[in-house]
Amino acid sequence: MAATRQVGVPHPRLPLPEGQDDLVAFQQWLGEAIPMVGALGITQMARQGDVLTWQLALAPSLNDKGTGFGGALTAQTTLQGWCWVTLWLRERGLARDVVVAEASQRFHAPVTGDYRLVCAPRDPQGPDILAEKLTERGKGRITLDQRLYCGDKLCLDATGSYAVLPEG
């Protein structure tokens, strides 16, 4: 049985990878570090270039109408952006704290079945700009867009600004 998280006590960081990050190990650690992750219905994570894609089951996020609960979907988009930045840092051998600074969502259609979330930088140069800021100032921000699809139907657009905090 996993240890219970304590309020005010940081969870130990996942060791940095030697080579390519293992998304299965990252997802397991994520569930330990953030207990609600286990209830979000994430069935798979995949990365290709600057795109992070999650496959999710709808059942854990149902609302009273039998569709996706907006609060759960919002939590998923915010968390996915945080994961994008954390994985990006890990790929560069950096273990740093990441926080969401701003987030917004726009709902286009009800989520009526299992779905996928796709996260990518708003600006294709965003990762390079973030890398420069981290080198110059020891901290930086990046804006990420998340899109939720049921099949080919876009159900939700979200945007988040994520800050990488200075060391120490």
Q: Could you tell me if residue 46 is inside a domain?
A: yes
**Residue 116: partners with Cβ closer than 8 Å, 6 or more residues away:** 53, 54, 55, 56, 148, 149
Q: Answer yes or no: pTM beyond 0.75.
A: yes
Q: What is the CATH number of the domain that holds 153?
A: 3.10.129.10
CA distance 162 to 99: 6
Per-residue pLDDT reduced to its tens digit, 81-104? 999 999 999 999 999 999 999 999
Q: Could you tell me if residue 138 is inside a domain?
A: yes
Residue 137 and residue 167 in contact, taking contact as beta carbons nearer than 8 Å: no
Span of 25-29, 72-76, 144-148 with lowest mean pLDDT = 25-29
Q: Could you tell me if residue 11 is inside a domain?
A: no
Q: Could you tell me if residue 18 is inside a domain?
A: no
Q: Could you tell me if residue 54 is inside a domain?
A: yes
Q: Could you tell me if residue 4 is inside a domain?
A: no
Measured CA to CA in angstroms, residue 25 lies from 32, 79, 123 at distances of 11, 17, 29
Total domains present in the chain: 1
The kind and range of the H/E element at 101 are strand 98-107
Q: What is the average pLDDT across 51-70?
A: 96
For residue 77, pLDDT beyond 90: yes
- C-alpha atoms less than 13 angstroms from C-alpha of 37 in its C-beta half-sphere: 19
Q: Could you tell me if residue 84 is inside a domain?
A: yes
> Position 40: which residue type?
L
Q: Could you tell me if residue 16 is inside a domain?
A: no
Q: Which domain holds residue 57?
A: 23-164
CA distance 15 to 25: 10
